C-alpha cells in the first residue's frame, strides 16, 4: 500500500512514512494510491466481531507490509480496552429509523479518542523500532487537543505542542488539555480562531528546515492514519444495521470534514452508503458548497458547538482530489486560489458528483438548543450541541426510502458542554467520576499572538528541553 499527495509533487510513501510525515512536502494531504475494496462476502464475514478486532482487520488494509495484523490487533485491544462502554462505539435507537452512534466513551469524552488512542500506540511502535523521536504539533477547535495529549502524554519518544484558540473552547475542553502537566506536553493559547491555529501548524510543516530540525509529526486529521482509524466505527454501525445487504445513511456534524470523509471511505471500500449528511453550525462553508457550489471562506463566528467553528475545512482537499479525477495539479491550483482569494472554484461536474451523495444542513444556536430539548423530551436522550446538529440533520435530510436507517454521529459527551445542555433541558450533566475533579486541577498554558516565529521558538525550546533531559 502506497500513498500519494493530493497535490501530486511529493514522493509516494508507505503507511509508516505517511504516519510520521503527516502533511506532504508539497502542502498536500496523503491518500491511498488505490482504495482497498471488500466484496459483499468479505463484509459479511466481519459482522459480529468485537470492535478492536474489526478495527485491526480494516486498518490492516491500509498498512500494507509495514504492520502485521497481530501487531494491530494488540494495539487496538490496548487502545479500546479502557473505554467506558464494552461496545466501544454503541448504537442507540432514537426512533423507528434513526440512531446515534456514540463515539464519546474514550478517556476525553469525544470522538477524537477513537483514532488518537490508537495513533499514540502506532507512534510508539514505529519510533521504538527506528530509535527516533518526534515533535507533534497540532491545532484544535476543542476536542482534538485533549485527545492527542491524552494519547501522547508521558510517551518517551514524543514531544507534543497543541495550539488552541484563546477563549473559543468550552471550559471542559480547555481544562482537559491544560491540566495535563506531563513534561512532554505544552499548551499554547493563540490570540485568534481555529483557522488561525490551523494555518500556523501548516506553516510549520511547510517550513522545511524547521520541519526537519524538529522532526515534526501531525495528529490532526491531516494525518492519514487519523482517517484510517475512524473508518471502523462507520463500518461497525453499517454492519450492525444489515450492511452490505441493506443500505444506510450517516449524518455527521463536522467542521474540518475528516469525520465525514471516513464515512465516505467506507462507501469507497464497498459498503452501501445511500447518503452522507454534513451538519454545520453558523460556520456553514460546507453546507453552502453543497447547496450552491459556494466554497467561500467567511469570518469564523463563535457558537455553542465550538469544535465546528471552522471556515477552512482542510480534509475537503482529499475529497476534491477524488472529484477532480485524482488530478494533483488541478487540486493544487484550486487550493492556491482558495488561499489567495478565499474562494475555491469547483467545476460544476465535480460539484454535481458531490451532491449526488452529500447533503448539507445548517443549524443556528437557537435551533441547536431546541434539538437538545426535543431529544430529551421525546427520547430521553441527552445530547451535546454537536450531536444535536447531527440528529436534526438526520431528521431533515433522511433518504426518501423509509427502509434506510439513518445514523447520526454522537461526537461528544454532553458533560463537555454543560452550560448549553442545562440551558436546553434544565439538567446539568455531570462529568464521569474519573474527571470529577477537573475544575480543581492546576492549569498550565501560555498565551501567544499568531506569530509564526514566536510559535516556532516555543516549539523548539520545548523539544530541546525534553531531548536534553
Q: Alpha-carbon torsion 420, 423, 424, 430, what sign? A: positive
Answer for the pair 170, 416: CB distance below 8 angstroms, yes or no: yes
Output the nine-digit C-alpha cell for 304.
455553542
Answer for the pair 336, 255: CB distance below 8 angstroms, yes or no: no
Buried b (16+ CB within 10 A) or exposed e, 34-44: eeeebeeeebe
From 7, 112, 164, 168, the catalytic residue: 112
Q: How many helices (H) and strands (E) does the chain have?
A: 19, 15
Active site residue 202: no
Integer Cα distance of 410 and 80 in angstroms? 17
> Helical H runs in 300-400?
316-323, 328-341, 348-355, 365-379, 385-396
Answer for the pair 380, 427: CB distance below 8 angstroms, yes or no: no
Q: How far apart are the first and last CA of the chain?
A: 37
Integer Cα distance of 50 and 379 in angstroms? 28
Integer Cα distance of 62 and 77 in angstroms? 18
> Helical H runs in 22-167?
40-44, 51-63, 69-80, 112-130, 143-152
Instruction: Determine how β-strand 248-253 pairs with β-strand 273-280.
Output: parallel
Residues annotated catalytic, as ranges: 112
Amino acid at each position: 500500500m502506497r500513498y500519494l499527495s493530493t497535490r501530486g509533487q511529493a514522493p509516494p510513501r508507505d503507511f509508516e512514512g505517511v504516519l510520521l510525515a503527516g502533511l506532504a512536502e508539497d502542502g498536500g494531504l496523503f491518500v491511498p494510491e488505490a482504495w482497498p475494496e471488500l466484496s459483499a462476502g468479505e463484509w459479511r464475514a466481519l459482522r459480529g466481531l468485537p470492535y478492536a478486532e474489526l478495527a485491526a482487520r480494516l486498518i490492516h488494509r491500509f498498512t500494507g507490509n509495514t504492520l502485521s495484523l497481530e501487531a494491530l490487533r494488540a494495539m487496538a485491544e490496548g487502545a479500546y480496552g479502557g473505554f467506558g462502554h464494552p461496545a466501544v462505539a454503541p448504537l442507540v435507537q432514537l426512533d423507528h429509523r434513526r440512531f446515534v452512534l456514540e463515539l464519546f466513551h474514550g478517556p476525553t469524552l469525544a470522538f477524537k479518542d477513537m483514532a488518537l488512542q490508537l495513533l499514540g500506540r502506532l507512534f510508539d511502535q514505529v519510533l521504538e523500532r527506528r530509535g527516533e523521536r518526534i515533535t507533534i504539533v497540532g491545532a484544535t477547535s476543542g476536542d482534538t487537543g485533549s485527545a492527542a495529549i491524552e494519547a501522547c502524554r508521558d510517551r518517551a519518544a514524543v514531544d507534543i505542542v497543541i495550539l488552541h484558540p484563546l477563549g473559543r473552547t468550552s471550559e471542559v475542553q480547555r481544562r482537559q488539555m491544560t491540566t495535563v502537566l506531563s513534561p512532554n506536553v505544552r499548551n499554547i493559547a493563540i490570540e485568534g480562531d481555529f483557522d488561525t491555529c490551523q494555518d500556523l501548524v501548516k506553516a510549520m510543516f511547510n517550513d522545511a528546515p524547521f520541519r526537519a530540525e524538529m522532526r515534526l509529526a501531525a495528529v490532526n486529521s491531516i494525518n492519514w492514519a487519523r482517517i484510517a482509524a475512524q473508518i471502523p466505527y462507520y463500518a461497525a454501525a453499517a454492519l450492525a444495521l444489515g450492511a452490505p445487504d441493506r443500505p444506510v445513511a450517516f449524518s455527521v456534524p463536522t467542521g474540518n470534514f475528516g469525520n465525514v470523509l471516513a464515512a465516505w471511505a467506507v462507501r469507497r471500500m464497498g459498503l452501501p452508503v445511500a447518503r452522507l449528511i454534513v451538519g454545520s453550525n453558523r460556520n456553514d462553508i460546507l453546507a453552502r458548497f453543497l447547496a450552491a457550489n459556494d466554497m467561500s471562506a467567511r469570518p469564523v463566528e463563535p457558537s455553542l458547538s465550538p469544535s465546528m467553528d471552522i471556515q477552512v475545512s482542510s480534509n475537503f482537499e482529499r475529497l476534491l482530489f477524488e472529484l477532480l479525477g485524482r488530478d494533483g495539479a488541478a487540486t493544487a491550483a484550486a487550493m492556491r486560489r482558495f488561499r489567495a482569494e478565499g474562494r475555491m472554484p469547483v467545476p460544476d461536474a465535480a460539484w454535481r458528483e458531490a451532491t449526488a451523495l452529500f447533503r448539507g444542513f445548517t443549524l443556528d444556536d437557537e435551533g441547536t438548543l431546541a434539538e437538545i430539548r426535543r431529544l430529551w423530551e421525546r427520547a430521553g436522550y441527552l445530547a451535546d450541541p454537536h450531536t444535536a446538529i447531527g440528529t436534526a440533520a438526520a431528521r431533515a435530510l433522511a433518504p426518501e426510502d423509509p427502509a434506510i436507517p439513518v445514523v447520526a454521529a454522537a461526537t461528544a459527551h454532553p458533560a463537555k458542554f454543560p452550560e448549553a445542555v442545562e440551558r436546553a433541558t434544565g439538567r446539568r450533566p455531570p462529568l464521569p467520576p474519573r474527571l470529577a475533579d477537573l475544575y480543581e486541577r492546576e492549569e498550565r498554558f501560555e498565551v501567544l499572538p499568531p506569530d509564526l516565529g514566536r510559535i516556532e521558538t516555543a516549539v523548539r525550546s520545548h523539544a530541546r528541553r525534553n531531548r536534553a533531559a
